[in-house]
């Protein structure tokens, strides 16, 4: 299990480098979906399957809105891909930075410091991630309502900005 979580963490870092180095919104959105999947895999590895599923679905819903917005506003005839020269140079620089920071902080890293939520499941009445969801709905209910309202408002703003026939606020065509 440790090796699988390690692969998810490596995929997470490589996905973040791919997102940071790509100027085209098409490929950056694909990289963000990969990063979301790898991050949810790390959460599953440490005992949070329900939380990772909810996070993945909400994040993908938000990414669809952001992708529709960025694809409508950035109409590039020839977008930069991951294999083009400037993107490969940026990826190399970012990966060198990640390796330098990892090398500098290597002494303080201990694998046993991450404890899964269900390590002592024999003595627990409920799972670790379900308890967090219950707290989110009980004490954070007002924030959830505000967040849902902001997401709905954002959806309407994006739909207004990307509306066709030259009537949108930021359409140049």
128-139 pLDDT tens trace: 666 666 777 777
Most confident of 14-18, 28-32, 134-138: 14-18
* Angle CA 86–77–87, to nearest 5: 15
Task: For residue 172, tell me if it sits in a domain.
Answer: no
pTM greater than 0.85 (yes/no): no
What is the residue range of 144's domain? 2-107+127-161
CATH number of the structural domain spanning residue 39: 1.20.120
* For residues 141-163, average pLDDT: 80
Task: For residue 33, tell me if it sits in a domain.
Answer: yes
- Whether the per-residue pLDDT at 173 is higher than 70: the answer is no
Our count of domains for the chain comes to: 1
Q: Would you state the pLDDT for residue 124? A: 59
Task: For residue 170, tell me if it sits in a domain.
Answer: no
Task: For residue 119, tell me if it sits in a domain.
Answer: no
Q: Would you state the pLDDT for residue 20? A: 85
Task: For residue 10, tell me if it sits in a domain.
Answer: yes
Q: Would you state the pLDDT for residue 99? A: 92
Task: For residue 115, tell me if it sits in a domain.
Answer: no
In whole angstroms, give the CA distance from residue 48 to residue 130: 8
Residue predicted with more confidence, 72 or 32: 32
CB atoms within 10 A of CB 67: 18
Q: Which pLDDT band, with edges at 50, 70 and 90, does 110 fall under?
A: low
H helix intervals, the chain: 2-21, 25-45, 49-73, 85-104, 128-139, 141-161
Task: For residue 66, tell me if it sits in a domain.
Answer: yes
Task: For residue 117, tell me if it sits in a domain.
Answer: no
């Amino acid at each position: 299990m440790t090796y699988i979580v390690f692969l998810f963490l490596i995929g997470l870092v490589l996905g973040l480098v791919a997102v940071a180095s790509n100027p085209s919104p098409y490929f950056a959105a694909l990289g963000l979906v990969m990063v979301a999947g790898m991050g949810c895999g790390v959460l599953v590895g440490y005992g949070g399957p329900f939380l990772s599923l909810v996070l993945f679905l909400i994040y993908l819903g938000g990414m669809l809105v952001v992708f529709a917005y960025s694809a409508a506003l950035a109409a590039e005839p020839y977008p930069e891909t991951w294999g083009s020269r400037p993107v490969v140079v940026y990826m190399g620089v970012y990966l060198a930075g990640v390796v330098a920071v990892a090398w500098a902080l290597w002494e303080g890293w201990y694998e046993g410091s991450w404890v899964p939520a269900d390590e002592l499941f024999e003595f627990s009445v409920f799972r670790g991630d379900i308890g967090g969801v219950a707290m989110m709905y009980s004490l954070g209910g007002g924030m959830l309502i505000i967040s849902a309202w902001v997401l709905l408002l954002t959806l309407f703003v994006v739909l207004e900005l990307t509306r066709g026939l030259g009537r949108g606020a930021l359409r140049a065509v």
